[in-house]
Amino acid sequence: MTERLNGAQPYALGLFRIVVGLLFLCHGAASLFGVLGGAHGGGTVEAGTWPGWYAAVIQLVAGGLVMLGIGTRSAAFVASGSMAYAYFKVHQPEALFPLENSGEASAMFCWAFLLLVFTGPGALALDGLFRGRVTAAESTRKEPEQTPATV
């Protein structure tokens, strides 16, 4: 049983990455484009405003990259940092605990992305597909034959 679970681990991690990335991307799309209910009550964040607009751009771009598995560790690092900033600058001054200050999403995203920084993308990532092509191309390339040096 343990061997089966261990064998499925990269796929479970890949699905985790896809779902977390998609949810993060949706937050950014809602804030920037007013879709999916929009930002905080149906509107959009005004372009260029600090920190809301920049956070929404990070959510959209990093969420998309993480979801697809392109540059997962770097994108997850930026996303985790943005959520740590959101928690400590926006939510934590209101109250100590996430349940009291409405910071549960920021805290969960922060830790989920930090986990992906250390674990990598798992299976089903586009980076792995690109890496596989390079490896296959390198393995089919023939090395020049070595001839013994003459003295």
> Could you give the CA distance from residue 82 to residue 92 in angstroms, rounded to a whole number?
14
Q: Which two tokens stand for residue 31?
A: 């804030």
pLDDT for 89:
95
Q: Which two tokens stand for residue 81?
A: 């940092």
> Could you give the CA distance from residue 55 to residue 32 in angstroms, rounded to a whole number?
10
pLDDT for 21:
98
Distance from first CA to last CA of the chain, Å, rounded? 62
Task: Report phi then psi at 132, rounded to 5.
Answer: -65, -35
Alpha helices in 69-123 (DSSP H): 72-85, 98-101, 104-119
SS3 14: helix
Please give the single-letter amino acid code of residue 122.
Answer: G
pTM given for the model: 0.81
pLDDT for 137:
44
Please identify every stretch of the chain with a pLDDT value under 70, giving residue numbers as ranges.
38-42, 132-151
Per-position DSSP letters for 28-71, written without gaps between them: HHHHHH--TTTBTTTB-PPTT-TTHHHHHHHHHHHHHHHHHTSS
